[in-house]
Amino acid sequence: MKKHSAAKRAASRPGYDELKNKIQQREALIGIIGLGYVGLPLALLFSEQKFSVTGFDIDQRKVDTLARGESYIFRITAEEIRKAKKQGFSATSEYARIAEMDAIIICVPTPLNQYHEPDLSFITDTTHAIAPHLQAGQLVVLESTTYPGTTEEVMLPILEKENKNGLKAARGASGAPKAEKQFFAAFSPEREDPGNTTVARRDIPKVVGGLNPQASELAGALYGSIFHRTVPVSSPAAAEMTKLLENIYRCVNIALVNELKMLCLRMNLDIWEVIAAASTKPFGFHPFYPGPGLGGHCIPVDPFYLSWKAKEYDFRTRFIELAGEINTAMPYHVLASIGGALNQHKKSVNGARVLILGVAYKKDIDDLRESPALTIIELLQHEGAQVSYHDPYFPMIGKGRKYDLQMKRTELERLGQYDCIVIVTDHSDYNFKKIVGEAKLVVDTRNATKGIDSPKVVRC
Ligand SMILES: NC(=O)c1ccc[n+]([C@@H]2O[C@H](COP(=O)([O-])OP(=O)(O)OC[C@H]3O[C@@H](n4cnc5c(N)ncnc54)[C@H](O)[C@@H]3O)[C@@H](O)[C@H]2O)c1
């Protein structure tokens, strides 16, 4: 483990060449701000490649958990944390230590506010906090998903105005201002697909957009040491837009299959069979799958960052808005399907005992953010249903950004006691054949009961 004091570091301010050399020699000190689903795995990846990493987080519980060598993210083991600690990884809430770092990577949340507008407060808070400690020659990279222009219009003005050394970001090909008065800035979006075990993180190409060619090269060298491929683009804004295009592409295509699913249900066609058949086309078709509604920190949120920004240009992003409308309506479609299914059994939603299977927004992950299950539970409760839930990843549902459900997980037993079981998240742990066997009625939003031929199953 390499020890560098702030004073020692201040004495040897690296310019472009020194920083590049430090990165190549694995001697660059990496500071990662925001140790959540994105920042912590990134810290571990740098650690695996022998970099000394310091994580910064305002959540003291996370800092303490890591200090004990434990993990708070399901898919990251305590063993991985301990291994990283041996490599020099530590976590802190002390921003003063930013001065010691060579590269600073920001991975803080970018949610929407109650008016469905970008909430950049986490980015601005972080930037205000690091600015006083900014040093010449440092590389600052923003990874949080956001609208094009955030790095240059929001982050840089704060860093330039509030640093104590009169530093400016290196702009233009010449690298001006002078080495002792400059820092480097870039944007590089996170592209992780939680729960995806088919693509190793290192194999996901990393898009990098620097403010000037030197910043691009430095950020490219930094990420090139942990990812197999980096993809340079011409500016931070191009990199910001790349990430949004990827997520909007998903959002719009999911809306398309959600809409077609509802038509297929009316036409008595199986959308899953149709998608599987269309997927055999060797070109021009990429499968997307319908579901109970969008979830997660990205797809339901990110597209609206762009629609908000587009208004500044007197432009309406109609695909995003339409997709948002269709996807947001899906939990209501699930509610209507539950009502219809209960009706077939001469029962109403009001008073029905309903078990929700799976509350994570996606199969096999421990993330509840924006999960459609929460909306479905709230809608059912509003209609008078007695709702229970089961999810292997969540012993309880507490307070979230939108909901305060305060529910405890029920055991997966005596399934015959429920009037209806709703499959919202098709975790691999579930034995759907057994569940259908024991249940009175199953509403399946995920095609989890594919191949199970039972009159008890209603596909929705
Ligand atoms: N989760 C994903 O799969 C994913 C994928 C791609 C992109 N992203 C984007 O990456 C960014 C981070 O997402 P995440 O899922 O890791 O969020 P997260 O909520 O899991 O983690 C964010 C962390 O930042 C910390 N934090 C907040 N403000 C801070 C501050 N001022 N200083 C230091 N720490 C602070 C929080 O305590 C938290 O630990 C978001 O912009 C998100 O859209 C996420």
Q: Spell out the residues 6+ positions from residue 329 whose beta carbon is closer than 8 angstroms to its own.
A: none
Show the CA angle centred on residue 267, arms to residues 266 and 270, nearest 5°.
Answer: 95
The secondary element (H helix, E strand) that includes residue 443 is strand 442-444
Report the Cα–Cα distance between both ends of the chain, in Å, rounded: 55
Specify the residue with its C-alpha closest to ligand 1, atom 20: 36
pLDDT at 12: 46
Q: Give the distance (Å) from ligand 1 centre to CA of residue 408.
A: 26
Q: Token digits for 344?
A: 């077939």
Q: How far is CA 36 from CA 24, 31, 198, 403, 452, in A?
A: 27, 14, 22, 21, 39
Task: Please state the pTM of the whole predicted model.
Answer: 0.92
Which residue positions in the chain have pLDDT lower than 70?
Answer: 1-14, 174-176
pLDDT at 3: 46
Q: Give the distance (Å) from ligand 1 centre to CA of residue 158.
A: 20
Among residues 107, 251, 264, 298, which one is catalytic?
298
* Separation between Cα atoms, residue 429 and residue 325, nearest integer Å: 32
pLDDT tens digit string along 148-193? 999 999 999 999 999 999 999 999 876 567 778 999 999 999 998 8
pLDDT at 174: 67
pLDDT at 10: 42
pLDDT at 14: 57
> DSSP characters for 339-381?
HHHHHHTT--STT-EEEEE--SSSTT----TT-HHHHHHHHHH
Residue 298 among the catalytic residues? yes
Which residues does ligand 1 sit against, CB inside 6 Å?
33-39, 56-59, 62, 107-110, 122, 125-126, 129, 143-145, 190, 192, 194, 297-298
* Separation between Cα atoms, residue 426 and residue 448, nearest integer Å: 6
Q: Give the distance (Å) from ligand 1 centre to CA of residue 401.
A: 14
Mutation pick for ligand 1 pocket among 37, 244, 246 (CB with most ligand atoms within 8 Å):
37
Q: Which atom of ligand 1 is nearest to the CA of 145?
A: 41
pLDDT at 13: 46
